[in-house]
Amino acid sequence: MTDRGRGVLPVINRRKGDAMERLRSGCKINIFLRLLGRRPDGYHELFSLFLPLNAPFDEMIIRDGRKEGIHLSCDVPGIDAGNNTVTKAWRLYGEASGFAPALEVRLVKGVPHGAGLGGGSADAAEMLLYLERRSPCPLGRERLHSLAARIGADVPFFLEKEPCLVEGIGERLTPLPPESPWLAPLAGVWGVLLCPAVHVNTAWAYAAWDESHPGAASGGSSARGCGDALTDAAGTDKNHRSVFFPPLRVENDFESVVFTRWPELARLKALLLREGGFAAGMSGSGSSLFGLFRDAETARGFMARLRELDGSCVAYGPFSPLGPAE
């Protein structure tokens, strides 16, 4: 695993002899997200480009517990303290390794829930990595990824902490080095992330997409094959540079159903494009949106005007999709 410092931030407080760690877990955006159909087991095949972001982020304060088990509290109401991605990661790791230390965990949420940013998945991945670091008998990368996939489709990505092509139901990852042609169109680009006060339930989004695409059953074809077909259709080359680029084609198959239900999200996307963004899209199943700008100055100008244009959402950035946020 590599850690280029963009996705899940490193430990920010670990003192020798102190049984407390303060960890940050970031989030992700989907530059594109294609839904390829529903499998017989109910899961959906997808093809996507995931990029990790440092902000917004969640924070976990972990201390050695006084009682057996994991005891989690959260600053946001509605989080099930006994059954969530963090406690599930702790349980699965303990079952697989025999290492299940008593822990007290305080979760401070910064990543909005129901925003399509993968905050809960990032938290689970950070717990797995924390336990792996402490375990007297680490499981290794392959087994850790297997556990992550059992927690949620996005969790394996947050173990990698680098841009990835994502296939299958989210468990098949292809990490992309900086020189990858998939990332070349993002060089020099700056982004702004908008988080409106809208919660989109992922299960609802999938069900709504299924209803609007009757008969869209996955035939088990690989997403890579889908990418090749798109490249051929576009008449571009075979090196994967132009499946979606150039021009940079940001698209998300969830937008059709989510924007119908929440037209204010479509208006925010239009705002990003009208105010200087050359591309904009929704992340995951929503509700967050991002805009891509040719330079940081234009992105900063948009953020400065955002309060006057639309004060209903929180903005993050400007950030480089291939580097840390400013």
CATH number of the domain within which 191 lies: 3.30.70.890
- Catalytic positions, please? 28, 154
Dist CA 152 CA 109 (whole Å): 19
212 CB contacts (<8 Å, ≥6 apart)? 256, 257
Q: What pLDDT is attached to residue 80? A: 86
Dist CA 120 CA 137 (whole Å): 26
Residues 143 and 207 in one domain: no
33 alpha carbon, distance to own chain's centre: 12
Residues 24 and 164 in one domain: yes
CA 206 vs CA 35, 38, 56, 158, 301: distances in Å:
9, 9, 25, 22, 35
**Arithmetic mean of pLDDT, 230-236:** 33
Residues 151 and 254 in one domain: no
pLDDT-based confidence at residue 323 (cuts at 50, 70, 90): confident
Is the predicted pLDDT of residue 292 greater than 90, yes or no?
Answer: yes
User: Considering only 47-61, 87-101, 167-181, 225-239, which range has the smallest mean pLDDT?
Assistant: 225-239
pLDDT-based confidence at residue 120 (cuts at 50, 70, 90): very high
Last residue of a domain, one of 156, 175, 194: 175
Residues 86 and 191 in one domain: no
151 CB contacts (<8 Å, ≥6 apart)? 85, 88, 89, 92, 121, 124
**Arithmetic mean of pLDDT, 259-272:** 97
Q: What pLDDT is attached to residue 324? A: 52
pLDDT-based confidence at residue 219 (cuts at 50, 70, 90): low
Question: Global pTM?
Answer: 0.85
Provide the residue range defining the domain that includes 22: 13-175
Does any domain span residue 326?
no
Q: What pLDDT is attached to residue 6? A: 40
Last residue of a domain, one of 175, 200, 223: 175
Region for 249 from its dihedrals, namely left if φ exceeds 0, alpha if ψ lies in -120 to 50, beta otherwise: beta
Is the predicted pLDDT of residue 231 greater than 60, yes or no?
Answer: no
Instruction: Report the range out of 11-15, 170-174, 249-253, 255-259 with the highest average pLDDT.
Output: 255-259
Does any domain span residue 1?
no
- Domain count along the chain: 2
Q: What pLDDT is attached to residue 227? A: 39
pLDDT-based confidence at residue 309 (cuts at 50, 70, 90): confident
Residues 76 and 162 in one domain: yes
Does any domain span residue 51?
yes
Instruction: Report the range out of 73-82, 122-131, 166-175, 242-251 with the highest average pLDDT.
Output: 122-131
Last residue of a domain, one of 157, 175, 193: 175
Does any domain span residue 6?
no
Residues 191 and 142 in one domain: no
Residues 79 and 163 in one domain: yes
Q: What pLDDT is attached to residue 244? A: 44
Q: What pLDDT is attached to residue 133? A: 97
Dist CA 187 CA 294 (whole Å): 10
Does any domain span residue 168?
yes
Residues 95 and 157 in one domain: yes
Q: What pLDDT is attached to residue 325? A: 43
Residues 150 and 205 in one domain: no
